[in-house]
Amino acid sequence: MGAETFVLIRDVVVGLSALVVAGTAILGLHTWRRELTGKAKFEVARNVILLALRLRVDFDWARNPGGWSWEYADRARRENEASKESQVLWYAKNRRLEPLAKNLQKLQEASWETEVVLGERLSESVSEAVSVYRNSYAELSTAIYSHFEILHGEALGSDVNQRREGQKELRKIIYSAKGDEFSTRIEEATKQLSAALKTYVK
């Protein structure tokens, strides 16, 4: 074998090695990119599902008919406040709305991330659930305000007879009952959202 043949074989081997290295690098980069994308999708989907589950719990807690003294122990009382006025649990109910409002805002922000990472189709499923939660929150907070405004007026001696008709409907929204329409709506929204994203959290 001549020197020229040896050099030619060497160059071919070096060239093939370079191709193999380049191919391996491209394949590795592609795999790394795919893994990063998969991880990002997993994190976004997981975060959204967890927030939805927290919201479901928040709604249950806000509508829980029980009341505990520690929930309003730190309430600032007005001077010469009547004892009946102190018994109106408006303060406690409003406090229960606070974590609900915070988690709802977090879910809204996470839904924007869903559109960027998971695409428009899945973002629509998340947006539909967020819309149900937002409307339910608005309905609940309005019902709490209206209901306890009437009770507060009554505690102060106002005539609230003409406003009592709507009290029954307000109580249905404020206080949970097993399988009621409000709870079912929240449950269905949570299930649909989880079903849409479950592919990414397996």
**Mean pLDDT by 10-residue block, N- to C-terminus, for the chain (202 residues)?**
56 52 49 56 88 94 75 61 56 81 93 81 85 95 82 63 70 86 95 87 72
Among 64, 84, 37, 82, which residue's Cα sits nearest to residue 182?
Answer: 64
φ and ψ of 179, to 5 deg = 70, 15
Q: How far apart are CA 186 and CA 132, in angstroms?
A: 7
The pLDDT score that the predictor gives to residue 114 is 84
- Angle at the Cα of 122 from the Cα atoms of 118 and 123, rounded to 5 degrees: 85
The pLDDT score that the predictor gives to residue 113 is 86
| Per-residue DSSP letter, 65 | S
The pLDDT score that the predictor gives to residue 91 is 64
pTM for the full predicted model: 0.73
φ and ψ of 74, to 5 deg = -95, 10
17 contacts 95 by C-beta, under 8 angstroms: no
For 143, the token pair is 């019902």
Q: How far apart are CA 100 and CA 106, in angstroms?
A: 10
φ and ψ of 78, to 5 deg = -75, 155
Q: How far is CA 124 from the centre of its chain?
A: 14
Residues 6+ apart with CB under 8 A from 97: 62, 137, 140, 141, 144
Q: How far is CA 25 from the centre of its chain?
A: 40
User: How do the domains of the chain map onto residue ranges?
Assistant: 3-201
Q: How far is CA 89 from CA 69, 75, 146, in A?
A: 10, 10, 13
- Residue identified by tokens 């592919």 is 199
| Per-residue DSSP letter, 78 | P
